[in-house]
Amino acid sequence: MKQLAFLLCIFIVLILVFPASGQDIYLGVTGGMNIADMKIIGDGEEQTVEALNLFGIGGFFGSTLHNNFSLQLRTLYIQKGGTINQELPSPDIDIRMSLFELDLSLKATVGNQFRPYIVVGPSIGFLLKAETEFDSDGNAVIGDLMDILNKMEFGLGIGAGIEYSMGKGFLFLEGRYGFGFNNLNNGGNLELRVNGNLADIQEISKDDEYKNKGFQIMTGFVLPLNKK
């Protein structure tokens, strides 16, 4: 909890100083794939989880700090999750989440026409939707995870990319690895439904651990607004 509180304090302070720090500002749009994965510990054992190819889309606002350094605030609608692989006859279980995510990154850029860069910074995600689904005798069994999950996720992102000058702006391609710090599982009763009808209720232990991680491959466009 101390780690999460410290991360949140850093995030708030950076947002407060953001408008006053910049010299040049820029806007951008971004979108692409999130190769979503999870760390899941159930019954004291880490589960085997397979990544899912999901997506994210959003925009960002940046402001230069000094020379080649800038501070960038990005907003994303992003999907996260993973597939728990189980031994037969137990079915594999999909977990999918939709989040609204804010991340604030320090960005270091070099070059002119081709501009490699690195980014690092904290993120806060707000859970919008979360479901689990698996197949049972040809029927899709669906469970709403919203009642058993924490509605906020604290994380960190580290990545690199390259920008290419196109007219007044820059086209970019970026890879970023992100991971959550806090356990999203609060425990509770999970209702499982088939065709909308209640089929079973499973108790999820609050001692189980659910943490998101994943690798984002994003592209987009950057447009400087008041370049000096």
CATH hierarchy code of domain 2-224? 2.40.160.20
Spatial contact of 78 and 34, defined as CB atoms under 8 Å apart = yes
At 163-182, the pLDDT tens digits run: 999 888 999 999 999 999 99
What is the C-alpha to C-alpha distance for residues 36 and 133, in angstroms, rounded to an integer? 16
- Better-scored residue on pLDDT, 87 or 96: 96
* Residues in contact with 140: Cβ distance below 8 Å, sequence separation at least 6, in sequence order: 133, 134, 194
Q: Are strands 197-204 and 188-194 parallel, antiparallel or unpaired?
A: antiparallel
Assign 94 a pLDDT band (cuts: 50, 70, 90): very high
Give Rg (Cα) of the chain.
20
- Lowest-confidence segment of 16-20, 55-59, 125-129, 207-211 by average pLDDT: 16-20
The pLDDT value recorded for residue 64 is 86
The pLDDT value recorded for residue 16 is 54
- 110: three-class secondary structure by DSSP: coil
* Three-point CA angle 47, 95, 3, nearest 5°: 70
Would you kindly state where each structural domain of the chain is located, as residue ranges?
2-224
The pLDDT value recorded for residue 10 is 57
For residue 146, pLDDT over 70 is answered with yes
SS3 content of the chain, % helix, strand, coil (to 5): 10, 70, 20
Assign 4 a pLDDT band (cuts: 50, 70, 90): low
